[in-house]
Structure 1
Amino acid sequence: MVDEFWATTKTLDLPPGVYWPAKAPIAEPEVGSDGKLHGHSYEKGWGTATAQTMWYCAWQREWLSQFGHDNQRATTAYQKLLTFKSMDQYVLYSDQGTRDFVDSTLSKAALGDPSLVQNNVNLNCHTVLPTVSSAAG
C-alpha cells in the first residue's frame, strides 16, 4: 500500500509550493483492549485513494487561497479540481452520495461560491501537505 501511495503521487502534480509528505500517512500500530500491539489492514486501492484525496484537498486549498486574488491561479486550480472526477478515488472508491457532493461542490465553485469547497476542506482535509514556508521553518 505504501508503494501504491508513492506510485500515485508520481502521477499527480501539486499546487506551487506544496509538496508530498516525507512519509506515507499510515496509521501507527495501536495497543488494543487486550494490551497487545495491533497493526492496521489496508485494501488494494488505499494508497491511490489516499494520494488522490490529498491531491484534491491541496487543490481545493489552492483554489480557496487564490479565489478573488489571482484569477489565473484560481482558474488553474479549478481546472485541476475538475480532473478529480476522472480519478479512481471518485470513479471507483466513492459512493454516489460522495460523487454527488463533489459534483455540487465543483458546480458551486464554478458559479463563484466557495462555501462547499471551504466546508469540505474544513471537514475532510485534515492532512495538510508541507509547503515551501513550512519546509523552511
Structure 2
Amino acid sequence: MSALVCFTSPHGLLALPVAVVRGVVDHLDVVPLPAPAPVGVAGLLRPGREALPVLDVLGTDGRHLLLLSVGGRRFGLIAGEVTHVQKPAAGALGPSPAGPAGALIAGTLRTADGTVLVVDEHALAARLDRAS
C-alpha cells in the first residue's frame, strides 16, 4: 500500500493515498456557490487558471482543503487539519465499515494512535457526477 495523507475529522483520523493529493491549501479560499448549490459541493476554488469544484462530504471542520486528482478529475475536498503522511505496512489495510457508513471508506488502518479510516478516492470523484 502506498503512503497516506492523514487528516482530522469529527469521525477521527481519515486518510487518502498521497498519489492523488496534489496540494493542501487554506479552506478560506473557497468561493460559495449561489443557492441552490448541489448537495455536497461547498463551492469553487481557483488555485490557478481553472476553477475546481470543492466537496464537503466528510463532515470535517474545514481548516484545510486537499487538492485532489482522481482519474483525470481535479477537485478539492474540505478536510480538518492535515496531520502527517504515513506509510502503512504491507497487508495492513483492513475492511471498510459495513452499510452506508462505509460508502466513502476503502478500508481501515490500525495505528498506535487508533484506527484510521482510508477514504475511497474514486467514491469521492463519483460524488462530482451526482452533484452535477
TM bin, normalised by shorter chain, reads under 0.3
Q: Give 1 or 2 for the bigger CA radius of gyration.
A: 1
Q: TM-score, normalised by structure 2?
A: 0.28
More helix by share: 1
Q: TM-score, normalised by structure 1?
A: 0.27
